[in-house]
Amino acid sequence: MWLCYNVPYMKSAFIELIGRPSTGKSSLLNRICGHKISIISNVPQTTRNKVRGIYTEKRGQLVFIDTPGFHSSEKKFNTYLKDLAVTTLNEVDIVLYLLDVTRAIGHEEETLISLMKNFKQKLVIGLNKIDVTPNYEQQFQTLLKTSFDDAPKLSLSCKNGQGVQQLLSVLFEKAPEGELYYPDEYYTDQTPEFRISEIVREKVILNTRQEVPHAVYIEIADMEMRQAENTLWVRGFICVERESQKGIIVGKGGDTIKKIMMQAREDVAVLFPYSLELDFRVKVRSKWKRNDMLLKKLIM
């Protein structure tokens, strides 16, 4: 169903969310769109893809593109993630640059600030996590004022929703006039396969520590809808770099993998109107982060 609001004109825009790892980009996307679209964790570089979240109301439609955290590193894997975030900047109407006010501005943030200067005309700045550090003004506002005098700056908390409505007003003000890009009931354009694999990856991240979350990618081998049982069967692999990581994910007597599957099933069940059976095995794929063909498939 398409919206037929009685307003003089509609607005619509593509908006990229960019910022250092863990600034809260995915949390903001989910809060605005009202659904769990992008996975979230306190591990840097949780997001590895361009994840679209769609927000529609009487003023029009905002299509948010969540991107991987901007991390200065020369490693191949990080370069892929960074390039994805940077190349998207040229494709969108608005750049929403998110900073984490609980962390000091270091070299990485300064690199991003320099990059953002090329997009001043379409820039909106969000200062997130003010629930933790409400008195951040001195450190951030002075720097941002000298670098981006004209860009709107919003104080935000994705945790309690503070500032989010004001942010939406600013974004609609900045958005060009235009028709809706998606039907109004859409809140994402992700395939079921991608959503399931991301939720499984999130549960792996939440149940493991240290290098394991960064060593993992998910491969869906097969999805089969069994109509008679109204059940979707999903089989796949949790791929890691080393045998030791496989052991951590499987856990003692298979405890960890069972927990991961149970948590994933609970989250996935909310998304789909049918039952789900998840059957995932852990396998070792050493050096996968150096495999260009695989990275091109995984990071897009």
Ligand X SMILES: Nc1nc2c(ncn2[C@@H]2O[C@H](COP(=O)(O)OP(=O)(O)OP(=O)(O)O)[C@@H](O)[C@H]2O)c(=O)[nH]1
Cα separation, 211 vs 124, in Å, equals 34
Q: Which helix (H) or strand (E) holds 97?
A: strand 94-100
Decide which of Mg ion, ligand X, none touches 45; Cβ closer than 5 to 8 Å per partner kind.
ligand X
Per CB under 6 A, contacts with ligand X among 52-71 are: 68-69
Identify the residue among 47, 49, 197, 245 touching ligand X (CB under 6 A): 47
- By a kind-dependent CB cut-off of 5 to 8 A, residue 264 interacts, out of ligand X, Mg ion, none, with none
Among candidate residues 197, 202, 241, the one with its CA nearest the CA of residue 223: 197
* Residue among 10, 35, 41, 223 that touches ligand X (CB under 6 A): 41
- Contact map string, positions 3 to 42, toward Mg ion, x by CB under 5 A: ----------------------xx----------------
Q: Is 21 in the site for ligand X (CB under 6 A)?
A: yes
Q: Which is nearest to 24 in space by CA: 147, 156, 175? A: 156
Residue 45 makes contact with ligand X by CB under 6 A: yes
Task: For residue 176, give every residue at least 6 positions away whose Cβ sits within 8 Å of its Cβ, in sequence order, or none.
Answer: 11, 12, 13, 93
- Nearer to ligand X (CB atom), residue 46 or residue 207: 46
**Residue 57 — φ and ψ, nearest 5°?**
-155, -170
Q: Does 126 bind ligand X (CB under 6 A)?
A: no
Among 35, 159, 242, 259, binds ligand X (CB under 6 A): 159
- Report how far residue 218's alpha carbon sits from residue 236's, in angstroms, rounded to the nearest whole number: 7
Of the candidates 70, 111, 142, 28, the one whose C-alpha atom is nearest the C-alpha of residue 153 is 142
Q: How many CA atoms lie within 13 A of 237 on its CB side?
A: 11
291 HSE (CA, 13 A, CB side): 10
Binder to ligand X among 16, 24, 32, 218 (CB under 6 A)?
A: 24
Count, in order, helices (H) and strands (E) of the chain.
10, 9
Q: What angle do CA 157, 162, 164 make, to 5 degrees?
A: 90
Q: Does 213 bind ligand X (CB under 6 A)?
A: no
Per CB under 6 A, the list member of 129, 174, 203, 289 interacting with ligand X is 129
Q: Does 47 help bind Mg ion (rule: CB under 5 A)?
A: yes
**Interface region with ligand X, contact rule CB under 6 A, candidates 34-42, 229-237, 245-253, 258-266:** 34-42
Please identify, among the stretches 39-47, 106-114, 133-141, 173-181, the one whose residues bind ligand X according to the rule CB under 6 A: 39-47
The rounded radius of gyration (Å) of the Cα atoms in the chain is: 20
- Name the residues that contact ligand X, by CB under 6 A: 19, 21-27, 40-42, 44-47, 68-69, 128-129, 131-132, 157-159
Task: List contacts with Mg ion (CB under 5 A).
Answer: 25-26, 46-47
